[in-house]
Structure 1
Amino acid sequence: MLPLELKVIKTYSLEKSESINKKLSDSARTTVENNRHVLHKIIEIIVLCAKQNIPLRGHTEETSNFYAILTAFAQNDEILSEHIASAQYNAKYTSPDIQNELNDSCAEQVKERILSDCRNCPYFAIIVDEATDKSTKEQLSFCVRFVDNKGTVREEFLGFVLCASVKEIELCTNIMSFLQEADLDVLKVRAQCYDGASNMSGKYRGVQALVRERSPHANYAHCKAHCLNLALVHSSNIPCVRTMMSTVQDISFLFDYSAKRLAAFVDELSRDATNKEEMEQRTKLRTLCETRWSSRADALATFRNAFPVVVHSLETLNDDGDNKAGQYLAGILCFEFIIALIVAEHVLSSTVALTNLLQKEDNDLLHAIGEAKVVIQLMNNERNDPKVWGALYEKATNAPRNLI
């Protein structure tokens, strides 16, 4: 047995050791908690910027959106403020590399959650489209459509796939590889949706045919909103309508890209309270979208409502020696232009609601067909109704009179 003195010394040493260890442990725990708190706030800022679709970077780190929001957060957060002020340069977690890593980690978390929900469903559909990005690289956008466990129809974007070629077999290989990497069973695919390009929709060697060889129940559907868009393109291929739309686009650009011409338009609009109200407080004409023709209904409606303002603006510019304004003025005062504008705007406006419906996530094929039949019936009825065409003709003939 140890003498009493040695027992006392040993007990004292143990108590002192435990006290030091506890202090070290508490300090380490506090450091970890503070670091996690700071990291959590940084992730919140990155997610906020992503939700608001604003860039993290700026011309310098101090002028970036990320740093500005971080500084604002720190004003009401002592731990974050202390971290920004005293943390070592290589341990601030605010560098662009760290931002990118956290951004990628958040994206992976979101993607994995989507994939988990999709894997738990008995069936799903794939929606794929290929396009050339700004850096002239071919890529596929890949989406899935499924009904989750709560009965909600969801369409979710999963990512882009770079393509070495747009040949059918290459695109099919990319789709299969993406499904395999995502751990999605290709035999669960019940529908595949692409555009109508021959390499995608080909009956025998198109992508849809190659996919069906691997998943026999994957029925192909040409995007119905795209089908409607193509129908509008072909139905508007009449010379007078093409000329009218080209003129509307040119005049929109005329006012949009010249400060002097836009000033003349805004000045004329400020004098016309009625047309300003009809334009819904807009101060510019809308340009025509090259790909989404249904949106042209709104652009044509804006131009029609602003027609007197456009004419008077072009007259003012023409009097100031603007020859181009004079040419456009003569073009839009022709009855052929006016009647084409009135009729095209009326027809396109009938398809806007259907276009919006076809792009809804919870829409199904039967509902889409039913609503399409309603629009077709409406147009057939109007085609055979003299009153409709009489009203459009009267509106066209009254347009020049309203200028007086």
Structure 2
Amino acid sequence: MGHQMFLCKVQVRKRHQMLELIINVVNLIGKRGLGSRGSQSEAAYMLKDDTVDHGNFLEMIVLLSKYDFCLKEDLTICIKNSKKLHQSGSRGGRGFLVTFLSKATINNIIKTIQHIMKTTIASQVQESGMFSVQIDTTQDITSQDQCSVIIRYVTDIVHEKLVALIQCESSTGQYFVKVVSEVLANMNLDLKQCIGNSTDGASNMQGKYKGFSTHLSEKSPHQIHVCCYSLIHNLILEDTTQSVLESGSFFFRSSIILQFLSESYQRMSIWEKEKKDPKHRRLAPIGETRWWPKDSALNKFFRLPHQSQNIYRQVAWTS
């Protein structure tokens, strides 16, 4: 009986070690901003096949198993049991084969990390006693509109934390207030402690009657609206550069030259060969709606040294 208990404790300890390693791998993948799963070949019985892509998570597990005896032993058992199940033609059932390597395990770990992070942020916000919110929407590659919710608060330093990314079902100011209210309620934060909000200049955000800020004031009367200063700065620069003929002509001609070089690998090869600064070897397009891509593209194109950048900016302002 005592021997069986000892073996059971050893097995539990090994499982704890394997789960800790898996959590560290998921943390690393998240830190590097990588996808965890592959598009196919994720079954445990296929992990011995080095010719297929198993996805970042499983590939890291397989790599680490080459240097960790306990992980290698557990992985071998998982592959063996999975192969048996596959050859028998049985699909088993939920929890029939516990490997800790399934997508369900990854998702549960991610959700747990998310919960811990949100709890920590909520604790800091409650200690601070007040906060402001920032929201903005953007379309992803599938043309779905997503709303990011950011909380800004102060402890010993200023914090800006992304706490939610919501797929939008509407674009009205009232809908965005509902989204923010639900996000804060899930974090046990009182909306009345919100003292400000920051958005872009769209009518659904700062409209006088139906804007997000107006509806938010009904639930948090003391909050004030602050338009995004970066957006205002960008709009000023855009209007300035478009209204001056010399400036507009300069950016137009520069854009044509950059496009001319970028469209041919032969011309790009000559450009890279002649370029002295390896940091500015790759050309960047001149953006139409943001100022910083223009600044970045022209600095790379003209290879301006650091001390000359202030002169360039003064010329751009006065042109």
Closer, same or farther: CA 30–164 of 1 in aligned 2, 3 Å: same
Query: CA contact under 8 A between 1:193 and 1:223: conserved in structure 2?
Result: yes
User: Shift of residue 251 of structure 1?
Assistant: 3.0
Closer, same or farther: CA 348–223 of 1 in aligned 2, 3 Å: farther
Which 5+ residue runs of structure 2 have no aligned equivalent?
A: 48-52, 83-96
Closer, same or farther: CA 296–106 of 1 in aligned 2, 3 Å: same
Instruction: For 2:281, give the aligned amino acid.
Output: T
Query: CA contact under 8 A between 1:300 and 1:345: conserved in structure 2?
Result: no
Instruction: For 1:247, give the aligned amino acid.
Output: R
- Looking at structure 1, the residues matched to 199 and 237 of structure 2 have their Cα atoms a distance apart, in angstroms, of 19
- Larger % of helix: which? 1
Query: CA contact under 8 A between 2:118 and 2:187: conserved in structure 1?
Result: no
Query: CA contact under 8 A between 2:134 and 2:197: conserved in structure 1?
Result: yes
- Looking at structure 2, the residues matched to 130 and 250 of structure 1 have their Cα atoms a distance apart, in angstroms, of 31
Match of 2:314 among 347, 351, 363: 347
Query: CA contact under 8 A between 1:147 and 1:153: conserved in structure 2?
Result: yes
Match of 1:124 among 123, 128, 131: 131
Structure 2 partner of 1:221: 226
Instruction: For 2:314, give the aligned amino acid.
Output: V
| Pair 1:46 & 2:39 matched | no
User: Shift of residue 345 of structure 1?
Assistant: 4.1
- Looking at structure 1, the residues matched to 22 and 255 of structure 2 have their Cα atoms a distance apart, in angstroms, of 45
The alignment partner of 1:255 has SS state of helix
Structure 2 partner of 1:255: 261
Match of 1:141 among 148, 172, 176: 148
Instruction: For 2:237, give the aligned amino acid.
Output: L
Instruction: For 2:223, give the aligned amino acid.
Output: A
Structure 2 partner of 1:25: 5
Query: CA contact under 8 A between 1:294 and 1:348: conserved in structure 2?
Result: no
User: Shift of residue 194 of structure 1?
Assistant: 0.6
What are the Cα deviations for residues 283-329 of structure 1, in whole angstroms up to 9, with x where unaligned? 222222344313422321222239xxxxxxxxxxxxxxxxxxxxxxx
Instruction: For 1:223, give the aligned amino acid.
Output: C
- Percent sequence identity is 22
The alignment partner of 2:147 has SS state of strand
Instruction: For 1:112, give the aligned amino acid.
Output: T
What are the Cα deviations for residues 132-181 of structure 1, in whole angstroms up to 9, with x where unaligned? 22222222100101113xx1211000011222211222222222222223
Query: CA contact under 8 A between 1:297 and 1:348: conserved in structure 2?
Result: no
Instruction: For 2:57, give the aligned amino acid.
Output: F
The alignment partner of 1:50 has SS state of helix
The size of the alignment, in residue pairs, is 287
TM-score (norm 2): 0.81
Map 1:245-394 onto structure 2 (within 5 A).
Answer: 245-267=251-273, 269=274, 276-277=275-276, 279-305=277-303, 345-347=312-314
What are the Cα deviations for residues 199-227 of structure 1, in whole angstroms up to 9, with x where unaligned? 11123331111111111111111111121
What are the Cα deviations for residues 235-291 of structure 1, in whole angstroms up to 9, with x where unaligned? 111343233323323332333343222123234x1xxxxxx34x4543222222344
- Looking at structure 1, the residues matched to 209 and 188 of structure 2 have their Cα atoms a distance apart, in angstroms, of 27
Instruction: For 2:68, give the aligned amino acid.
Output: D
The alignment partner of 2:153 has SS state of strand
The alignment partner of 1:141 has SS state of strand
Closer, same or farther: CA 343–44 of 1 in aligned 2, 3 Å: closer
- Looking at structure 2, the residues matched to 300 and 261 of structure 1 have their Cα atoms a distance apart, in angstroms, of 18
The alignment partner of 1:125 has SS state of strand
Structure 2 partner of 1:72: 63
The alignment partner of 2:67 has SS state of coil
Question: Which entry has the higher C-alpha Rg, 1 or 2?
Answer: 1
The alignment partner of 2:160 has SS state of strand
User: Shift of residue 126 of structure 1?
Assistant: 0.6
- Looking at structure 1, the residues matched to 310 and 14 of structure 2 have their Cα atoms a distance apart, in angstroms, of 66
Structure 2 partner of 1:371: none
Map 1:39-118 onto structure 2 (within 5 A).
Answer: 39-58=19-38, 60-61=41-42, 62=47, 63=53, 64-87=55-78, 88-89=81-82, 90-118=97-125
Which 5+ residue runs of structure 1 have no aligned equivalent?
A: 1-19, 270-275, 307-341, 350-378, 384-388, 390-404
Closer, same or farther: CA 344–54 of 1 in aligned 2, 3 Å: same
User: Shift of residue 113 of structure 1?
Assistant: 1.8
The alignment partner of 1:54 has SS state of coil
Match of 1:169 among 171, 174, 191: 174
Structure 2 partner of 1:243: 249
Query: CA contact under 8 A between 2:164 and 2:183: conserved in structure 1?
Result: no
Structure 2 partner of 1:331: none
- Looking at structure 1, the residues matched to 188 and 159 of structure 2 have their Cα atoms a distance apart, in angstroms, of 19
User: Shift of residue 348 of structure 1?
Assistant: 7.7
